Structure 1
Amino acid sequence: MARPALEVADILNAHGDAYERAHAGRLSRGQMKVMSAIRSCRMVVLGGHVSRCADCAHVEIVYNSCRNRHCPKCQGATARDWLAARQAELLPVPYYHLVFTLPTAIGAIAYQNKAAVYDLFFKASAETLATIAADPRHLGARIGVTTVLHTWGSALTHHPHIHAVVPGGGLSADGTRWIVGRSRFFLPVRVLSRLFRRLFLDGLPALHAAGRLAFFGDLDPLAETAAFDAMLAPLCRAEWVVYAKRPFAGPAAVLTYLSRYTHRVAISNSRLLAMDARGVTFRWKDYRARAKASGNGWIKAMTLPADEFIRRFLLHVLPDGFHRIRHYGLFASAVCAANIDRIRALLVDQQVRASPEGAPPAEEKRPEATLRCRCCAGIMTIIETFARGSVPKIWLASASIRIDTS
């Protein structure tokens, strides 16, 4: 893959030192760590390996990636590995996509208390789906849910929301039947919204009472219980946004979606347009103008001063060890494999009974991924590895080696 003309690493290398000096003492350890990792990603300081094509003898030097989950260059391989595992768990049923969003007032609290509030966010959204799905008036079944946390809007503003991917059905309470959901929609959005609001607003005061929330700057008065309760009062009556998208067009579309969303970072290098004296220019989507705009008129360019661009980028650094992809219900890690096997057996049995031939469809074999030569598509083999800050020995023997820093 060709290296983008401009990368987040280029912006941090050009303006990162000045940003750190201007905000000394106000950056978290995690934010400093992310900046350092991205700046050194795919650079000689991290070491790397040398690969040679078995067919045309083409040689490439590839520097190691930083593997930081906030780095735009490092998520491709991680996403592929994660997707391979999810592919093995995919069920031959329709899938649905729902989005849970926090009100702006809660988002401000979440930013100052990421671990506690985002954890509550995950639990409230998952419990909402499981509770409504278990209700006989809706589905009457136990479901599995895969959830992904995103904290950004297209303009890099703080906009926490959770994407939930759910199979269109669930196991009966006794585990003997697969119950198929409605074809047009999975669960009623208004009912989901009301329960989600109640669960979240029950959990947030509990965090406050337990002393697990901290408040700084403009939010400092919320440390007092009375002020905190007064802030929450209007939210108990407001409509909370739960959005249900159209069902996916088959299981393959689920994998395509997950490959775009699970390991996405706040901004990809492909969205960056320019860095100059005015600042950093990047593409963003103005969703409010989407209905009125013709064609791609709602996709616009925004220019921010470099300091503001870096500030917005660092808004989305998550605490160390925080999992932003989580599985619940039938897909919880401890029971996932057994539940997947059970569901597949039930689905095969249903297909056998419903099929005139009385046999399940053959499984599609998927090709294995192999590192290929960019010159002749031959198989690339690693012939040397080198440590951080070192120069590969083969470098000295040839001047025609391609160095991959993409």
Structure 2
Amino acid sequence: MRPVLEVADVFRRHGPAYRQAHADHLGRTERRVMAAIEACRTPALGGHVERCAACGFSRPAYNSCRDRHCPKCQGLARAEWLEARQAELLPVPHFHVVFTVPAPVAELAFHNKAAVYGMLFQAAAEALREVAGDRRHLGAEIGAIAVLHTWGQALHHHPHLHCIVPGGGIAPDQTRWVACPPGFFLPVRVLSRRFRDLFVRALRTAFAAGALRFPGALASLAERAAFGAQLDQLGQIDWVVHAKPPFAGPEQVLGYLGRYTHRVALANSRLVGLNDGQVRFTWKDYRQGGATKVMTLAADEFIRRFLQHTLPDGFHRIRHIGFLANRHRARKLALCRALLAAPPLAPRPTRRWQERLRELSGQDVEV
């Protein structure tokens, strides 16, 4: 059922004033996202007429914008992606590991999205590979699916990486599967320190190459001594890496992935009011046990917070690590299945996209 309110309603009603008020610093990507969401499934994008063969009832069906930031789009892409992951799930426990960066790094990331978000992926992937590959811990090659989220429940900028990791890996000689101890993945403290050190090193390298911007309040960090001192401080504090207990089974893994992979900053279903220039939406306060509350923001502030989470063009927010990396996934998964004595993957059938959408999501566009 279509939500009563949509982010598109906020943009259509208050977007023109927002564009005018922020004309000097509203970027091309943000403008494109706003325009796409406003036009999504409206006559502006064209469409077709759906007609019931039995009774003759007809209705217009307008095209989607397909922008990855749009709350209405990506349904088929998400369903197909999940179907592919379902076929690839190994019959082992899967762990959920979350990598979070300190506030100074998050602020730097906001002004250097492609560079610093890229470091987040690289540092997390390398930390996972190194610690898992160490014989003192697991001593194996692991795989992972990493998903970038840049928001918290109140739409503040809060970049963090969700990783789904099979509980084990391929032995160095590739002759056996090395399983994690029951209920335990890797030592989080070791993983956290390695992640921190790799990230700080990447920041030093990027600064030396002139690859970072320091606008506004960050201007003082453009000086080598100041930035070096900042990195020294970051290298002394604990960075948050959280490993959650393993999922109960493949269905729980897929359920989690379905909620998080193609998610946007705020789902339309969370909107509860749009009146007198105020936007009201639900959020969970995890400081109070995940209690559901309602937040009210001026439309201008709501749009600003939503647009904070636009990603650079071409930036991939879902990546695969280790034996799940795209370049050798098929070969490595076949090896994993052989080592686990699991049945090989069945070939995926070819079907029309309308049939696939109906089967995978329950949405029938041909009724």
TM > 0.5 between the two? Answer: yes
Which stretch shows the higher mean deviation, 56-65 or 236-245? Answer: 56-65
| Correspondence 1:332 to 2:325 | yes
Is the Cα contact below 8 Å between 2:76 and 2:357 reproduced in 1?
A: no
Determine the structure 2 residue equivalent to 1:317: 310
Please say which structure displays the higher CA radius of gyration. Answer: 1
Give, as a single letter, the amino acid of the residue that structure 1 aligns with 2:163: A
Distance, in Å, in 2 between the alignment partners of 1:40 and 1:176 is: 54
- Structure 1 unaligned segments of length 5 or more: list them: 291-295, 350-359, 383-406
Distance, in Å, in 2 between the alignment partners of 1:369 and 1:267 is: 26
- Structure 2 unaligned segments of length 5 or more: list them: none
Give, as a single letter, the amino acid of the residue that structure 1 aligns with 2:267: S
Is the Cα contact below 8 Å between 2:283 and 2:295 reproduced in 1?
A: yes
1:348 aligned counterpart, secondary structure: coil
Return the structure number with greater relative CO, CA threshold 8 A, min gap 6: 1
Determine the structure 1 residue equivalent to 2:134: 135
- Change in Cα spacing, 1:370 to 1:274, as seen in structure 2 (3 Å) is closer
Distance, in Å, in 1 between the alignment partners of 2:57 and 2:180 is: 53
Distance, in Å, in 2 between the alignment partners of 1:362 and 1:324 is: 26
How far off is 1:98 after superposition? Answer: 0.4
Is the Cα contact below 8 Å between 1:52 and 1:380 reproduced in 2?
A: no
RMSD of Structure 2 on Structure 1 (CA): 2.3
| Correspondence 1:37 to 2:36 | yes
Determine the structure 2 residue equivalent to 1:11: 10
Distance, in Å, in 1 between the alignment partners of 2:345 and 2:113 is: 46
Distance, in Å, in 2 between the alignment partners of 1:370 and 1:329 is: 30
Mapping for residues 294-309 of structure 1, pairs under 5 Å: 298-309=291-302
How far off is 1:75 after superposition? Answer: 2.5
Mapping for residues 79-228 of structure 1, pairs under 5 Å: 79-228=78-227
Give, as a single letter, the amino acid of the residue that structure 2 aligns with 1:122: F
2:114 aligned counterpart, secondary structure: helix
2:327 aligned counterpart, secondary structure: coil
Distance, in Å, in 2 between the alignment partners of 1:379 and 1:336 is: 32
Give, as a single letter, the amino acid of the residue that structure 2 aligns with 1:344: R
Distance, in Å, in 1 between the alignment partners of 2:357 and 2:12 is: 33
- Change in Cα spacing, 1:23 to 1:380, as seen in structure 2 (3 Å) is closer
- Change in Cα spacing, 1:379 to 1:7, as seen in structure 2 (3 Å) is closer
- Change in Cα spacing, 1:178 to 1:278, as seen in structure 2 (3 Å) is same
Deviation sequence 1:80-107 (CA, Å, 0-9, x none): 1211222221111111100000100110
% identical aligned pairs: 56
- Change in Cα spacing, 1:90 to 1:59, as seen in structure 2 (3 Å) is farther
How far off is 1:57 after superposition? Answer: 5.0
How far off is 1:165 after superposition? Answer: 0.5
State TM-score, norm by structure 1.
0.84
Determine the structure 1 residue equivalent to 2:231: 232
Distance, in Å, in 2 between the alignment partners of 1:271 and 1:3 is: 12
Mapping for residues 26-65 of structure 1, pairs under 5 Å: 26-53=25-52, 57-65=56-64
Is the Cα contact below 8 Å between 1:50 and 1:61 reproduced in 2?
A: yes
- Change in Cα spacing, 1:323 to 1:219, as seen in structure 2 (3 Å) is same
2:198 aligned counterpart, secondary structure: helix
- Change in Cα spacing, 1:26 to 1:141, as seen in structure 2 (3 Å) is same
The size of the alignment, in residue pairs, is: 360
2:80 aligned counterpart, secondary structure: helix
Distance, in Å, in 2 between the alignment partners of 1:171 and 1:246 is: 21
Which stretch shows the higher mean deviation, 113-122 or 276-285? Answer: 276-285
| Correspondence 1:345 to 2:338 | yes
2:135 aligned counterpart, secondary structure: coil
Distance, in Å, in 1 between the alignment partners of 2:18 and 2:137 is: 52
| Correspondence 1:283 to 2:282 | yes
Determine the structure 2 residue equivalent to 1:261: 260
Is the Cα contact below 8 Å between 1:101 and 1:160 reproduced in 2?
A: yes
Give, as a single letter, the amino acid of the residue that structure 1 aligns with 2:160: H
State TM-score, norm by structure 2.
0.93
Distance, in Å, in 2 between the alignment partners of 1:75 and 1:132 is: 35
Give, as a single letter, the amino acid of the residue that structure 2 aligns with 1:221: S
- Change in Cα spacing, 1:154 to 1:333, as seen in structure 2 (3 Å) is same
Is the Cα contact below 8 Å between 2:129 and 2:141 reproduced in 1?
A: yes
Deviation sequence 1:181-229 (CA, Å, 0-9, x none): 1111211111111111111111101100000001100001111111111
How far off is 1:232 after superposition? Answer: 2.0
Deviation sequence 1:104-157 (CA, Å, 0-9, x none): 011000000000111011000011111111111111100111100000000000
Give, as a single letter, the amino acid of the residue that structure 2 aligns with 1:322: F
